[in-house]
Amino acid sequence: MKRLLLLASVPLLIGAIAATYQVASASDHDDGENNEKERNLNLTDHFAFKSPASPDELSLIMYFNPRSLPGHQYFMATDARYEFHVSKIGARADAPTVKDDFVFRFEGQAPDATGVQQVKLTILKDGAEVGTATGSTTDIGNSKKGSITTNTGNAGGLDVKWFIGPRADSFVFDVVRFFQVRTFLAQRFFGGAGGKGDATATLADNCRGDKFLSILGANPNAGEAGGVSDGDTINLWNPPSCAPDFTKNYNVMAIVLNVKIAQLGATIFDTWSTISVLR
């Protein structure tokens, strides 16, 4: 595979047209929940890469259900389709076709008493169903112990291997500083009289105690905590040494799928994830 496409999240919004699956897309890690879209319908991140353990396999991962509390069991929505989309590309510079050469659709049943869901995997090729396989999710207790349920099989001529269950959220985000910076930039460029910018707008010291734009001083290190630079004298963002991670100790639900690259009939792919609901 010559191109690795790593997409950001493709969250869904649920439409209200009866008896049809409706999907709309956006790009963020967590777009919240409401009465029409529960947390387990919130798609956060999508990853695609060659499997480090088996380079002849394409690994696809989607995260959903952000802000999952540690130790708490979460589930796939039983009225939803969780789907990986794979589009074959001829050359790296080709424009995306957004064609569903393959769709890998996961549908979960109601959980049993142990918190495990039976799951149906349906594979579509060029819009037509070519095969199905069944498996089950991994519950929170076994996931914490590393006792993972790996489902394997062949469907539609494709050898598939997949896992569904809770995992630690790998996303890192300093949400407090993000809003501080956003407020500052909005005021600086669009605040003031006539919305032409407010030159007096300021930004608080970062979590290390470094002053914003100490680089402009005659002695930039004078604006650094303790007079010692950490290598960044602009100080717009918090440094990794003290930046608070909003997602720390949160889990997500993950769907991980491995499929043989050769069986997909190409070496370059565009991939994305969707969640749709019949409403």
Domain ranges of the chain: 21-171+248-278, 175-227
pLDDT(170) > 60: yes
Mean pLDDT of 27-35: 65
Mean predicted confidence (pLDDT) in 39-63: 93
Report the pLDDT value the prediction gives residue 52, as an integer from 0 to 100. Answer: 93
Long-range contact list for 124-131, CB < 8 A, 24+ apart?
A: 124/100, 125/101, 125/156, 126/100, 126/101, 127/100, 129/156, 130/155, 130/156, 130/157, 131/155, 131/156, 131/157, 131/158
Mean pLDDT of 117-134: 97
**The model's pTM:** 0.78
Q: For the chain, what percentages of helix, strand and coil (3-state, to nearest 5) are there? A: 15, 35, 50
What are 82-118's pLDDT values in tens digits?
A: 999 999 999 888 888 889 999 999 999 999 999 999 9
Indicate the SS3 state at residue 54: coil
Q: Give the E-state strand segments of 137-250 in sequence order.
A: 151-155, 158-168
DSSP 194: G
State how far the alpha carbon of 129 is from the alpha carbons of 76, 87, 104, 122, 170, in Å. 22, 16, 10, 7, 33
Mean pLDDT, the chain, as a whole number? 87
For residues 228 and 248, what is the distance between their CA atoms, to the nearest angstrom? 28
